[in-house]
Amino acid sequence: MTNITPEEVKQRLDAGEKLNLVDVREPAENAEFNIGGILHPLGRVRDMDIDELEQLKGEEVIVYCRSGNRSGQAAMMLESMGFSNVKNLTGGMLAWVDKFGS
């Protein structure tokens, strides 16, 4: 697993790049604020319920959560399931909001 900073993700989004963002927070957290990722809570990843993400196995996938802890776990799990290019958003949405607001 590698890390990616909020600045790198924001720069790429601002440039119009299509990113495969996966939000592993809970639905209420996602509803509060999100950056456009697919909502796929960590519990579903733990249960290996990844059908929705299967088509991304060979692509870059950036996972994020509130602080970077759950997404770090999710990134390692996805790698163990055959995802080859998973990145964890360092600091999660807390870092994003701290740097860019909501």
Could you tell me the residue ranges of all domains in the chain?
Answer: 2-100
Measured between alpha carbons, how far is 16 from 25 in angstroms, rounded to an integer?
A: 24
Measured between alpha carbons, how far is 84 from 78 in angstroms, rounded to an integer?
A: 8
Q: What values do phi and psi take at 60, rounded to 5?
A: -70, 130
pLDDT for 102 equals 82
Is residue 89 annotated as a catalytic residue, yes or no?
no
Fold for the domain defined by 2-100: Oxidized Rhodanese; domain 1 (3.40.250)
Q: Which alpha helices (DSSP H) does the chain contain, by range?
A: 6-14, 27-32, 42-46, 69-80, 92-100
What's the pLDDT tens digit per position in 13-50?
999 999 999 999 999 999 999 999 999 999 999 999 99
What's the pLDDT tens digit per position in 56-70?
999 999 999 999 999
pLDDT band at 1 (very low <50, low <70, confident <90, very high): confident
Query: Catalytic one among 53, 63, 65, 89?
Result: 65
